[in-house]
């Protein structure tokens, strides 16, 4: 997987530059006000200097997603590196406030492209079992950029007259490094290449990313990802007696789900009386909780044989399909649903996360005498139960007629706005992005030196002979350094405990740290004790944030949308992110002046409580699942309720 790691690391440098910029503007603001009288006279203008980059990010986000869908992920990331370089030059010059605002606007364009597309790029190039780890790299590089920038700013503050233009302009050096990395180390996303019909290029890129020649199974998965499967349904099968030459799936279990079924337990939960929390949970959350709570089958997934693979669109799949046996209404598991013989039985269709891909081919005669055929894809997963059971997500295959394929491609905004899995996922993505920003992180990061200065942090370092401004920047740098091990823990747990679990554990710690900070702000205590408690609370808040609420919203939004509209949906989620970011950043100086630390962080604590409830009820666990499987779960959940399951034992 060396190729995937290198590509992810190179792309994540774009987030390092965002972190670098956040730290430099936080430090430079302390000196800008003295050098530019307009900022001193108009506090709102100071907020505008910071918010202009956010405005630029918002503007570019509105078209970055659709543009990346049409032109590719790689060209947009190269454009981001070029814009970073231009912004660095302008900030190094900046003779007055208008030029400074222009530089911040260009910088925002670069940040918007990077923050929007880096998670998409990493998700589309990483294998399922390490996608969470690799997609946490942007958080790691972003915090590393902040730490290095704080170190640079601190050294500049030791000069008799600190140069804020130099603090901002040094961005040019890492921006040029990022430009070289994007040109020489970033291949195009294989999923995007498949969506444009460039199969040979996609295969070559996949071989490089995976470090192996046989990528047929994943290519088949990417082809299936071109459709969203609005008719997705849950079905259960039994994998029949097998030998080296033949694999048979037996259907006919429509009257009930197999005992121990990973989906069966979720359906049972939805159909029986349960706790209030169970009734409030989103169906997608219930389904995926049931899936991830399963113990792995004894001996792994080796009991489920390989079921054959295919690439591209053909008049008929290149395997020996039996016609679907309709059987009686009550089903007959002795009738083979599909059979694959010969060489196809030895090929692999493992697509990661314990899932396999197969197809269901049916033929019939219409009323007018013409022959009709249907191909549906089957995402199969073995279950731990007596016998060898397989649960399947069955939906429309990409192997359809030309007219159907063209109709799918023309979906776009229609598909996003119509009721279904995409809109269901979009509501989840937009909500979690807004809640993340209103938890206060952007304001805390951008104004950490000023917040710590107001808390009296200079008392802690007075014996070192540092000025208050230098002391606050030094503490900010140390705080950022402490965040790095926390991100390392998150990287380790992201694909083990999962995204949802990390959020449910870390958000309560955010609430607790904010509550302590509020209490310290209103309770009388010595200056040194007050500064120590406030600094400790900020450290705990930031460390917990980067373990969960920091990286996970972007990871989730890059995972839950289908390939064809992923860029468009990501743009909508990013737009919500930046609008919320602008609101928080622009209003924070005013809120800090009028409400003080206690009122400000009390509001943030309340938002974190709302976020905890939302995660518990509406955010599903996506660890280890191929991207194409995740959207099919949302298609099932979008129907509003899970299939009914009767309690009659005769149905098992």
HEC assignment per residue over 156-219: HHCCCCCCHHHHHHCCHHHHHHHHHHHHHHCCCCHHHHHHCCCHHHHHHHHHHHHCCCCCHHHH
At 35-56, the pLDDT tens digits run 887 777 777 787 788 788 988 9
- Please classify residue 593 by burial: count the beta carbons closer than 10 Å to its beta carbon, then call 0-12 exposed, 13-18 middle and 19+ buried: exposed
pLDDT at 177: 96
| Same domain as 235, residue 100 | no
| Same domain as 426, residue 377 | no
Is the pLDDT at 387 greater than 60, yes or no? no
Q: Which SS3 state, helix, strand or coil, does residue 378 take?
A: strand
Domain endpoint, select from 164, 186, 208: 186
Cβ atoms of 129 and 352 closer than 8 Å: yes
* pLDDT tier, 401 (very low <50, low <70, confident <90, very high otherwise): very low
- Residue 523 is given by DSSP the state S
Is the pLDDT at 286 greater than 60, yes or no? yes
Least confident of 148-152, 181-185, 464-468, 558-562: 464-468
| Same domain as 151, residue 24 | yes
Of residues 348 and 546, which shows the higher confidence score? 546
pLDDT at 407: 47
pLDDT at 366: 67
Cβ atoms of 578 and 587 closer than 8 Å: no
Residue 645 lies in a domain: no
Average pLDDT score, the chain: 78
pLDDT at 51: 80
Domain, as residue range, for 157 = 1-186
Residue 398 phi, psi (nearest 5): -70, -15
Is the pLDDT at 253 greater than 70, yes or no? no
- Residue 346 is given by DSSP the state G
Q: What is the mean pLDDT of the segment spanning 411-432?
A: 84
* pLDDT tier, 420 (very low <50, low <70, confident <90, very high otherwise): confident
* pLDDT tier, 340 (very low <50, low <70, confident <90, very high otherwise): very low
Of residues 299 and 217, which shows the higher confidence score? 217
At 4-29, the pLDDT tens digits run 999 999 999 999 999 999 889 878 88
* pLDDT tier, 178 (very low <50, low <70, confident <90, very high otherwise): very high
d(CA 105, CA 114): 14
pLDDT at 173: 95
| Same domain as 420, residue 388 | no
Q: In 401-467, where do the E strands start and end?
A: none
Residue 38 lies in a domain: yes
pLDDT at 330: 41
- Residue 246 is given by DSSP the state E
Residue 651 lies in a domain: no
Task: Provide the CATH number for the domain around residue 610.
Answer: 1.20.1250.20
Six-digit token string for 80: 């981001």
Residue 407 lies in a domain: no
Q: What is the mean pLDDT of the segment spanning 342-363?
A: 63
d(CA 585, CA 49): 11
d(CA 306, CA 355): 11
Six-digit token string for 544: 């917990």
| Same domain as 236, residue 115 | no
Is the pLDDT at 304 greater than 80, yes or no? no
Cβ atoms of 556 and 499 closer than 8 Å: yes
Sign for the CA dihedral angle at 86, 89, 91, 97 comes to negative
| Same domain as 606, residue 465 | yes
Q: What is the mean pLDDT of the segment spanning 574-594?
A: 82
pLDDT at 267: 47
At 107-146, the pLDDT tens digits run 999 999 999 999 999 999 999 989 999 999 999 999 999 9
| Same domain as 464, residue 387 | no
Residue 626 lies in a domain: yes
Residue 324 lies in a domain: no
d(CA 186, CA 66): 20
| Same domain as 565, residue 458 | yes
Q: What is the mean pLDDT of the segment spanning 218-245?
A: 73
Q: Is the pTM of this model over 0.75?
A: yes
- Residue 295 is given by DSSP the state P
Residue 619 phi, psi (nearest 5): -105, 115
Least confident of 148-162, 350-364, 554-568: 350-364
Beta pairing partners, 383 = 389
| Same domain as 436, residue 575 | yes
Least confident of 96-105, 124-133, 147-156, 263-272: 263-272
Is the pLDDT at 441 greater than 50, yes or no? yes
pLDDT at 314: 37
Q: Report how many domains make up the chain.
A: 3
> Burial code of 420-455, b = ≥16 C-beta within 10 A, e = fewer?
bbbbbbbebbbbbbbbbbbbbbbbbbbbbbbbbbbb
* pLDDT tier, 257 (very low <50, low <70, confident <90, very high otherwise): very low
pLDDT at 345: 35
d(CA 335, CA 234): 19
Six-digit token string for 417: 């706005």
pLDDT at 462: 61
Q: Measured in whole angstroms, how far is the alpha carbon of residue 221 from the centre of its chain?
A: 20
Calculate what percentage of the chain has a pLDDT beyond 70: 73
Is the pLDDT at 525 greater than 70, yes or no? yes
Residue 601 lies in a domain: yes
Residue 284 lies in a domain: no
End-to-end CA distance of the chain: 43
């Amino acid at each position: 997987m060396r190729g995937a790691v290198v590509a992810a690391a190179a792309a994540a440098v774009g987030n390092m530059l965002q972190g670098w910029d956040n730290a430099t503007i936080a430090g430079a603001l302390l000196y800008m006000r003295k050098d530019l009288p307009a900022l001193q006279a108009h506090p709102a203008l100071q907020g505008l200097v910071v918010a202009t980059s956010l405005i630029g990010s918002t503007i570019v986000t509105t078209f970055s997603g659709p543009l990346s869908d049409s032109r590719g992920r790689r060209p947009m990331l190269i454009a981001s590196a070029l814009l970073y370089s231009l912004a660095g030059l302008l900030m190094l010059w900046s003779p007055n406030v208008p030029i400074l605002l222009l530089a911040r606007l260009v910088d925002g364009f670069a940040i918007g492209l990077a923050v929007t597309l880096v998670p998409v790029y990493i998700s589309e190039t990483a294998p399922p079992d390490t996608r969470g780890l690799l997609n946490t790299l942007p958080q790691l590089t972003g915090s590393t950029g902040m730490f290095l920038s704080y170190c640079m700013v601190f050294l500049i503050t030791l000069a008799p007259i600190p140069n804020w233009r130099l603090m901002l302009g040094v961005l040019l050096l890492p921006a040029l490094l990022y430009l070289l990395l994007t040109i020489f180390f970033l291949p195009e996303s294989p999923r995007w290449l498949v969506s444009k019909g460039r199969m040979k290029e996609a295969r070559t890129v996949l071989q490089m990313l995976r470090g192996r020649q046989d990528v047929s199974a994943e290519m088949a998965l990417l082809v299936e990802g071109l459709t969203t499967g609005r008719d997705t349904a849950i079905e259960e099968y039994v994998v029949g007696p097998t030998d080296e030459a033949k694999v048979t799936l037996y259907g006919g279990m429509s009257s009930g789900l197999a005992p121990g079924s990973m989906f069966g337990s979720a359906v049972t939960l939805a159909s029986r009386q349960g706790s209030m929390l169970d009734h409030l949970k989103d169906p997608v959350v219930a389904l995926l909780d049931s899936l991830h709570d399963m113990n792995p089958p004894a001996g792994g997934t080796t009991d489920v044989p390989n079921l054959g693979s295919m690439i591209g669109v053909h008049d008929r799949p290149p395997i020996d399909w039996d016609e679907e046996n309709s059987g009686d209404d009550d089903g007959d598991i002795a009738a083979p649903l599909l059979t694959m013989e010969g060489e196809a039985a030895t090929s692999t269709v493992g697509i990661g996360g314990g899932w396999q891909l197969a197809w269901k081919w049916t033929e019939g005669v219409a009323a007018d005498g013409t022959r009709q055929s249907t191909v549906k894809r089957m995402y199969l997963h073995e279950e731990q139960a007596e016998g060898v059971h397989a649960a399947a997500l069955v939906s429309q295959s990409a192997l359809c007629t030309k007219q159907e394929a063209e109709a799918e491609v023309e979906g776009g905004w229609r598909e996003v706005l119509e009721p279904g899995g995409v809109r269901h996922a979009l509501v989840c993505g937009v909500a979690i992005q807004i809640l993340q920003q209103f938890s206060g992180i952007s304001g805390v990061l951008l104004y950490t030196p000023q917040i710590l200065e107001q808390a009296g942090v200079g008392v802690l370092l007075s014996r070192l002979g540092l000025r208050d401004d230098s002391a606050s920047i030094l503490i900010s740098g140390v705080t950022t350094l402490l965040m790095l091990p926390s991100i390392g823990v998150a990287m380790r747990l992201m694909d083990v405990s999962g995204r949802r679990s990390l959020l449910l554990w870390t958000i309560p710690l955010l609430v607790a740290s904010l509550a302590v900070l509020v209490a310290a702000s209103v309770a009388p205590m010595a200056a040194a004790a007050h500064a120590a408690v406030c600094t400790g609370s900020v450290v705990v808040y930031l460390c917990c944030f980067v373990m969960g609420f920091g990286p996970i919203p972007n990871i989730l939004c890059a995972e839950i949308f289908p390939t064809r509209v992923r860029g468009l949906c990501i743009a909508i989620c990013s737009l919500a992110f930046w609008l919320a970011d602008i609101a928080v950043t622009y209003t924070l100086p005013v809120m800090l002046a009028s409400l003080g630390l206690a009122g400000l962080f009390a509001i943030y604590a309340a938002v974190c409580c709302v976020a905890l409830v939302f995660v518990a009820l509406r955010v599903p666990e996506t660890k280890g699942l191929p991207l194409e499987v995740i959207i099919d779960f949302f298609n099932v959940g979008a129907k509003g309720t899970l299939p009914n399951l009767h309690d009659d034992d005769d149905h098992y």
